[in-house]
Chain A
């Protein structure tokens, strides 16, 4: 029997629904691919509003700042985008994963 992550952490998808219901503009970021020792598994979420508030995590803190900045743009344009982070991309993104892993993050608006 497979199992999901322990449900003890804040429920990000429920937060996304609650924020949207209260009239906030919301984007959802999801880890869609990982290589090496990525800190959070594929499927992990971060929810962001247009003010830059966020809940959840896609990397355990390494790249959340960059994802939040990108998510605010996604909310404005309404267009989803895919971001890639890793040691190799440090110059491109100015952030990297200290663990040496790489991740791809899909950021989409909740409409």
Chain B
């Protein structure tokens, strides 16, 4: 591999951009295909599309021989809005499950290093944090503050950017009002069915810790059972 190509690939990985390194097994030539760019003219376009969906690397046959497609997708991430009791349980559980976790809450009474040791915490408004680290399809969002001033913006951003999981805490009545606000804000109502509300798997969760299990279960289900995953 040429060093410049390796640098470009590493830059894409650091920037959470999906890419595939194509190696022609006949002559060793390589090229980097980015998901965000138009690759429809590539002779392997169909295979590339499939591999971006499945996330699986592998050999493919083409007219003049074989090519190896090494797929690089960003690591799955969970952004939790609200440094509340549920989040205190959810952070370590999600980290054990292999997710990169961020907790965002501008309320400094909740967002303390004592309650959230380990650097996952951002004691800022979601608007500011998400400007620096935008949401993407490889990110899950769980909004658990109960406060529309904090939850609404990241939830709408999660729907707009195609986050793989979007969960919102609150009763059906609270959620109904939320959707009215989202409609007023001009969000496409077709996106609303993507919101998991009431949040989490229906396991009768009652305590904050149990709700955390339910939320993590829903997140993993969205990650692993999505159309195309594992195909």
Contacts and interface: CB of A to CB of B under 8 A. Distances in A.
Given A17-B6, A106-B23, A3 B55 contact: yes
The contact size tier of chain A is 20 to 34
A98 B23 CA distance: 29
B98 A6 contact: yes
Nearest to B68: A32
A7 B75 contact: yes
A111 B3 contact: yes
Contacts of B224: 3
Interface string A17-54: 10011000000101011000000011100000000000
Nearest to A80: B28
Size bracket of the B interface: 35 or more
Contacts of A14: 10, 13
A91 interface: no
Interface string B123-162: 0000000000000011000000000000000000000000
Contact of B229 (A2, A43, A109): A2
Contact of A2 (B9, B25, B73, B100): B73
A106 B1 contact: no
B102 interface: no
B194 interface: no
Contacts of B228: 2
Contacts of A17: 3, 6-7, 10
B13 to A, nearest CB: 7
Interface in B30-82: 53-59, 68, 70-76
Contacts of B25: 32, 82, 106
Q: Report which residue of B10, B222, B223, B228 has the largest number of chain A beta carbons within 10 angstroms of its beta carbon.
A: B10
B73 A42 contact: no
Contacts of B230: 2
B184 interface: no
A4 B100 CA distance: 12
Contact of B53 (A2, A7, A20, A33): A2
11 contacts: A2-B228, A2-B230, A4-B71, A6-B98, A7-B75, A7-B100, A13-B10, A17-B6, A30-B68, A80-B28, A108-B23
The 9 residue pairs across chains A and B that have the minimum distance between CB atoms = A2-B55, A43-B57, A1-B164, A6-B98, A7-B75, A1-B226, A4-B73, A42-B57, A32-B68
